[in-house]
Amino acid sequence: MRTQVVIVGAGPAGLLLGQILHKHGVANVILERQTGDYVLGRVRAGVIEQVTQDLLDEVGVGGRMHRDGLVHEAVQICVDGARHRIPLKELTGKTVMVYGQTEITRDLMEGRAGIGAPTVYSAGDVTLHDIFGDKPRVSYQAEGKSHEIACDFIAGCDGFHGVCRASVPPDAITTHERVYPFGWLGILTDTPPVLDEVVYVRHPLGFALCSMRGPTRSRYYIQCDLADDVEAWPDQRFWDALKPRLDDEARARLVTGPSIEKSIAPLRSFVAEPIRFGRLFLAGDAAHIVPPTGAKGLNLAASDVRYLSRALIEHYAEKSEAGIDCYSERALARVWKAERFSWWLTMLLHKISDNTFDRKIQLAELDYLFRSKAASTAFAENYVGLPY
Ligand code: FAD
Ligand code: DHB
């Protein structure tokens, strides 16, 4: 079998890349280790930047997002029981969309089924061959048989634990990493959101986040220990931990109910450099990880895909290597700014230690953020997404 681009991973990065390439006549095959249902079962990000929305529209799968997604003109930050509103639209002219990653994945999967482009789910033992040569190949196992695809390029969209980054010789790659000593425990509930805007909470008991998926579905997170196990967090314990972190009004409005999903995510900052190796390109979580505090993970995956798709389309249409040669540098320039913002917001809002100096510095910076229009604008510019 032969195709132009083999895409490893059918998460948002791989599916979006596949749609854009197909639209521009570039043939591609997606290989995904899990089943489609498994991919759809993962509850993750919720805040979508304008530039990500534009890409979904470009490939014709943004309809349901515009119908069911919630346009947010502001976010709120609650510090030790007092809530402050940051008016994103007033400060930047831009808004964000609250629409779950699960729904985006579903829309992209349906879009791909609609165009009849090939996706192999449950592909085992995906192995890359000859990435630095002219004729790379990808082999895999499916339905008990061995398969191999010859291609021009390989797109590694297979997430942090994928095979693509791991296939690169260690001396060709540099990695930069910070692992945080806490995680997020998240729950999804069929209850109305506590407020109609996303609220980030800084409290001496630890960070919390109140978000939503619609008028009757809420998504909440609390800071937890890395050693915590979801089994140790029955719903009542979660609500008991969340409530005291909220302000009086939010606490009074909070509607609790049974969780329909509950999971723990560790927090990590990670960047690989470069993200192009011969004919292999990394995109999304395969290349970098941000802690979720700035809601940037999914949006960065989309921005990598934008740079990579433009480069590949240009290569086939104009026989030019310019975009391909610049991909790593261009994508990483935007990645590092989102890494900085996500790290900064994480350090600002979490309980980092019992050191009172650290706490006082957080409070001073938050006070400045709320009082200074320059500081609020800098926050808002980063939150809605920096320009390409
Ligand atoms: P992924 O979504 O990880 O997709 C990679 C795909 O590759 C997966 O389907 C995987 O099964 C497949 N794959 C892996 N290995 C192989 C292989 N060897 N062969 C074939 N296929 C393979 N971001 C936010 O902004 N807010 C959040 O609240 C948030 N919460 C998160 C919670 C968790 C637990 C995780 C892991 C991430 C979270 N993120 C969040 C980050 C965001 O979800 C990711 O940035 C986004 O999913 C990146 O998309 P991706 O397509 O690059 O990678
Ligand atoms: C959500 C997740 C985030 O990481 C974030 O910063 C804001 C909202 C969410 O799941 O809704």
Q: What is the 3-state secondary structure (H, E, C) of the chain?
A: CECCEEEECCCHHHHHHHHHHHHCCCCEEEECCCCHHHHHCCCCCCEECHHHHHHHHHCCCCHHHHHHCEEECCEEEEECCEEEEECHHHHHCCCEEECCHHHHHHHHHHHHHHHCCCEECCCEEEEEECCCCCCCEEEEEECCEEEEEECCEEEECCCCCCCCHHHCCHHHCEEEEEEEEEEEEEEEECCCCCCCCCEEEECCCCCEEEEEEECCEEEEEEEECCCCCHHHCCHHHHHHHHHHHCCHHHHHHCCCCCEEEEEEEEEEEEEEECCEECCEEECHHHCEECCHHHCCHHHHHHHHHHHHHHHHHHHHHHCCCHHHHHHHHHHHHHHHHHHHHHHHHHHHHCCCCCCHHHHHHHHHHHHHHHHCHHHHHHHHHHHHCCCC
45 lines ligand 2 (CB under 6 A): yes
Structure tokens at 299: 């949006």
Name residues contacting ligand 1 (CB within 6 A): 8-14, 31-34, 39, 44-45, 101, 123, 126, 157-159, 162-163, 265, 284-285, 292, 295-298, 301
The pLDDT assigned to 388 comes to 85
Asked whether 46 and 295 are in contact (CB, 8 A), the reply is yes
Q: What is the pLDDT of residues 360-382, one digit of tens each?
A: 999 999 999 999 999 999 999 99
The pLDDT assigned to 236 comes to 98
- Per-residue pLDDT for 212 more than 90? yes
Instruction: Compute the distance from residue 191 Cα to the ligand 1 centre, in Å.
Output: 26
The pLDDT assigned to 112 comes to 97
C-alpha to C-alpha distance for 321 and 338, rounded to whole angstroms = 27
The pLDDT assigned to 30 comes to 98
Instruction: Compute the distance from residue 285 Cα to the ligand 1 centre, in Å.
Output: 6
Q: pLDDT tier at 324 (50, 70, 90 boundaries)?
A: very high
C-alpha to C-alpha distance for 359 and 204, rounded to whole angstroms = 9
- Check if 220 is active-site: no
Q: What is the pLDDT of residues 256-304, one digit of tens each?
A: 999 999 999 999 999 999 999 999 999 999 999 999 999 999 999 999 9
Task: Name the residue of 101, 128, 163 whose CB sits within 8 Å of the most ligand 1 atoms, as the mutation to test its pocket.
Answer: 101
Give the dihedral sign, CA 298/332/271/285.
Answer: positive
Task: Name the residue of 103, 154, 158, 275 whose CB sits within 8 Å of the most ligand 1 atoms, as the mutation to test its pocket.
Answer: 158
- Check if 307 is active-site: no
Nearest bound ligand to the CA of residue 199: 2
Task: Name the residue of 221, 300, 342, 345 whose CB sits within 8 Å of the most ligand 2 atoms, as the mutation to test its pocket.
Answer: 221
Ligand 1, atom 13, residue with closest C-alpha = 158
Q: What is the pLDDT of residues 29-54, one digit of tens each?
A: 999 999 999 999 888 889 999 999 99
Q: Is 161 exposed, middle or buried (0-12, 13-18, 19+ CB in 10 A)?
A: exposed
Atom of ligand 1 nearest to the CA of 296: 25
- Check if 121 is active-site: no
The pLDDT assigned to 92 comes to 98
Atom of ligand 1 nearest to the CA of 304: 52
Ligand 2, atom 5, residue with closest C-alpha = 295
pTM: 0.97
Instruction: Compute the distance from residue 21 Cα to the ligand 1 centre, in Å.
Output: 20
C-alpha to C-alpha distance for 185 and 36, rounded to whole angstroms = 25
**What is the overall mean pLDDT for the chain?**
97
Q: pLDDT tier at 254 (50, 70, 90 boundaries)?
A: very high
The pLDDT assigned to 382 comes to 98
Q: What is the pLDDT of residues 65-90, one digit of tens each?
A: 999 999 999 999 999 999 999 999 99
- Per-residue pLDDT for 104 more than 90? yes
Q: What is the pLDDT of residues 218-229, one digit of tens each?
A: 999 999 999 999
Average pLDDT over residues 184-208: 97
- Catalytic entry in 200, 220, 221, 307: 200
292 lines ligand 2 (CB under 6 A): yes
Of the candidates 94, 108, 112, 113, the one whose C-alpha atom is nearest the C-alpha of residue 47 is: 94
